[in-house]
């Protein structure tokens, strides 16, 4: 159902509102969602450049029953920022100022549209960095990272984006502006609204300002890689290193299929074998930590364990970051069905890695596997010929099987990509009815008209209602 969004012209200058097909097209997809699949074009695109703009648009849309879906770099993978019910795409990329850096407190304030490199540049000028930057950090925004609760290669040592958000300014659906957290390193004052907004995928509020913590760039940084004969050995080595308490800053698993795809895409010469890419951070004594890691790995029959110089490591990390593109580029007849992401307890990582291989065999689909293995976080892409319905069907069944097995192992349907539209159907399986209903209650409390990013996170209700007043409020 198209919505009348002409009111936007009264709220924003004409160069910051568009009803044109090209602008609407650009806001109808993300990196994992095809417009012909699940997403739909918005009726209009609006580019606020202040909190006041966001507030005005939301208040007006909320009064008129017009859905608003926040959008930024469009790098999400589960349709998180793709309109499910038309309405307005609220594009935050023009709110892209680093507002303040306070190196004396390891803090930075930014508008939501600031890109990862601008954060790193502003922090780096003071010898600081933002540790949880996701692998897509070069092309994604801080606001997107926050509302999707992103994480990255360094999360194994430093934690998720959630752990580095100190304070937020955000606008609720009715236009009211709230402020969570603050500048203190810790607080137990009132509810943790900030933590609730982190990962809420724009369904509860539009984040208009973030205060993040930064860390000092370590004095010593060394990288390397270990090459294994089997993927099982590589996974076991990662698990053993984490369980042994090796202090590692990155520990990434890359299977042989992914390595081949990277070589093809980047013209690189990675070995055609399962690998673990490593990075260590320390202020002193880094050699002792590397030796410790090598000793642990030695128990898992690595073919090689080798350190790299800066240039060699740059090549490895580029290959790792570009894997999502390399996978998509591999075969013109195949495209990723789901760029998936599950996380399991670290002791179950080898089991999960094995199960992904078994699923690939069982359903006869190609599934390159890689990821933040030190967190028990696996990425996998299920490659199918989208013109072949049977292939697509097998791919979907494989995807379901992987997520189901992750949940059975006590894991989660998504470690860092969020639910969006792609993983709604697993919410009940992961949490059960009462917990999902509690989440619905919170959604209703903050956004009773379901104005903000409707159709995300929650499984569709049986009667197709977008939102409902929770039963507990009827008594």
12 near a copy of itself, judged by CB under 8 A: no
Chain positions 221 to 280 lying near a copy of itself, rule: CB under 8 A, are: 243, 245, 247
13 binds a copy of itself (CB under 8 A): no
Is 41 in contact with 88 (CB distance < 8 Å)? no
Q: Is 445 in the site for a copy of itself (CB under 8 A)?
A: yes
21-29, 115-123, 198-206, 355-363 -> range binding a copy of itself (CB under 8 A): 198-206
In the list 177, 221, 397, 467, the residue contacting a copy of itself (rule: CB under 8 A) is 177
Length of the chain equals 475
**Interacting span for a copy of itself (CB under 8 A) from 172-180, 269-277, 293-301, 320-328:** 172-180
Q: How far apart are CA 31 and CA 79, in angstroms?
A: 8
Q: How far is the CB of 178 from a copy of itself (least distance, A)?
A: 4
Nearer to a copy of itself, 316 or 349 (CB): 349
Q: Which of 15, 390, 465, 472 binds a copy of itself (CB under 8 A)?
A: 472
One DSSP character per residue, 325-361 reads: HHHHHS-TT-EEEEEEEEE--GGGHHHHHHHHHHHHH
Q: Which is nearer to a copy of itself, 90 or 166 (CB)?
A: 166
| Touching a copy of itself, residues 131-170 (CB under 8 A) | 148-151, 155, 159-160, 162-163
- C-alpha 8/C-alpha 51 separation (Å) is 15
Nearer Cβ to a copy of itself (150/234)? 150
Measure the N-to-C terminal CA separation of the chain; round to a whole number of Å: 33
Among 14, 21, 186, 309, binds a copy of itself (CB under 8 A): 186
Is there binding between residue 295 and a copy of itself (CB under 8 A)? Answer: no
Applying CB under 8 A, does 377 fall inside the site for a copy of itself?
Answer: yes
65 lies in the site for a copy of itself, by CB under 8 A: no
Question: Rule CB under 8 A: is residue 43 a binding residue for a copy of itself?
Answer: no
CA angle 148, 96, 64 (to 5 degrees): 65
Structure tokens at 315: 């090549």
Query: Does residue number 455 form part of the binding site for a copy of itself (CB under 8 A)?
Result: no
Candidates 19, 129, 325, 444: give the one binding a copy of itself (CB under 8 A): 444
Q: How far apart are CA 138 and CA 133, in angstroms?
A: 9
**Least Cβ distance, residue 283 to a copy of itself (angstroms):** 7
Q: Can you point out the beta strands (E) in 117-274? A: 128-129, 165-171, 177-181, 206-213, 215-216, 220-228, 250-254
Q: Closer to a copy of itself at the Cβ: 252 or 394?
A: 252
Segment near a copy of itself (CB under 8 A); pick from 20-28, 258-266, 384-392, 445-453 = 445-453
Q: Residues touching a copy of itself: how many (CB under 8 A)?
A: 93
State the Cα angle at 354 between 349 and 360, rounded to 5°. 130
Q: Which of 9, 50, 125, 176 binds a copy of itself (CB under 8 A)?
A: 176
Contact code string over 395-434 relative to a copy of itself, x by CB under 8 A: ---------------xxxxxxxxxx---x--xx--xxx-x
Which one, 115 or 171, has the nearer CB to a copy of itself?
171
Three-state DSSP class for residue 420: coil
Cβ 430 to a copy of itself shortest distance, Å: 6
- Restricted to residues 296-355, the positions that interact with a copy of itself (CB under 8 A) are 343-347
Shortest distance in whole angstroms from residue 10 CB to a copy of itself = 21
* Bridge partners (DSSP) listed for residue 369: 380
Q: Is 31 helix (H, G, I), strand (E, B) or coil?
A: coil
Q: Which residues pair with 279 in a beta bridge?
A: 223, 250
Which of helix, strand or coil describes residue 25? helix
The burial class, CB within 10 Å (0-12 / 13-18 / 19+), for 187 is middle
85-104 binders of a copy of itself (CB under 8 A): 102, 104
Which helix (DSSP H) or strand (DSSP E) does residue 46 occupy? strand 44-46
Name 250's Cβ contacts closer than 8 Å, sequence gap at least 6: 153, 154, 156, 157, 223, 277, 278, 279, 374
- Please, are residues 146 and 168 in contact by the beta-carbon 8 Å criterion? yes
Q: How far is the CB of 181 from a copy of itself (least distance, A)?
A: 8
């Amino acid at each position: 159902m198209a919505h009348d969004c002409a009111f936007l012209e009264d709220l924003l200058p004409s160069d910051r509102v568009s009803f044109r097909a090209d602008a609407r097209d650009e806001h109808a997809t993300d990196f994992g969602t095809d417009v012909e699949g699940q997403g739909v074009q918005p009726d209009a695109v609006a580019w606020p450049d202040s909190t006041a703009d966001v507030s005005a648009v939301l208040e007006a849309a909320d009064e008129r029953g017009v859905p608003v879906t926040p959008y930024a770099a469009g790098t999400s993978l589960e349709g998180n920022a793709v309109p499910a019910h038309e309405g307005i795409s609220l594009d935050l990329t023009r709110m892209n100022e680093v507002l303040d850096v306070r190196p004396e407190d390891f803090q930075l304030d930014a508008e939501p549209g600031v890109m990862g490199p601008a954060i790193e540049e502003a922090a780096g000028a003071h010898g600081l960095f933002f540790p949880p930057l996701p692998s897509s950090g070069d092309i994604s925004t801080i606001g997107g990272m926050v509302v999707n609760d992103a994480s990255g290669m360094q999360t194994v040592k430093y934690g998720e984006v959630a752990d580095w958000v100190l304070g937020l300014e955000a606008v609720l659906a009715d236009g009211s502006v709230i402020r969570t957290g603050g500048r203190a390193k810790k607080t137990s004052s009132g509810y943790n609204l900030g933590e609730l907004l982190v990962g809420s995928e724009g369904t509860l509020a539009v984040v208009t300002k973030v205060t993040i913590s930064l860390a000092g760039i370590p004095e010593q940084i060394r990288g390397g890689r270990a090459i294994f004969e089997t993927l099982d050995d590589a996974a076991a080595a990662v698990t053993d290193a984490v369980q042994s308490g090796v202090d590692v800053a990155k520990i990434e698993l890359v299977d042989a299929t992914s390595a081949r795809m990277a070589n093809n895409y980047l013209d690189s010469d990675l070995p055609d074998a399962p690998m673990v890419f490593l990075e260590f951070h320390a202020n002193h004594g880094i050699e002792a930590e590397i030796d410790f890691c090598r000793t642990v790995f030695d128990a898992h029959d690595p073919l090689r364990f080798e350190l790299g110089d800066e240039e060699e490591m740059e090549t490895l990390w580029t290959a790792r970051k570009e894997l999502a593109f390399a996978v998509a580029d591999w075969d013109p007849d195949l495209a990723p069905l789901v760029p998936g992401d599950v996380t399991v307890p670290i002791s179950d990582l080898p089991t999960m890695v094995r199960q992904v291989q078994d699923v690939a065999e069982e359903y006869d689909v190609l599934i390159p596997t890689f990821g933040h293995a030190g967190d028990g976080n696996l990425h996998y892409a299920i490659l199918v010929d989208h013109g072949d319905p049977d292939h697509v069907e097998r791919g979907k069944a494989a995807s379901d099987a992987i997520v189901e097995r992750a949940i059975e192992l006590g894991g989660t349907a998504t470690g860092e990509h969020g639910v969006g539209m792609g993983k709604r159907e697993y919410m009940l399986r992961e949490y059960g009815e009462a917990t999902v209903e509690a989440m619905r209650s919170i959604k209703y409390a903050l956004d009773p008209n379901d104005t903000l990013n409707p159709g995300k996170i929650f499984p569709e209700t049986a009667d197709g209602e977008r939102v409902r007043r929770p039963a507990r409020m009827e008594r």
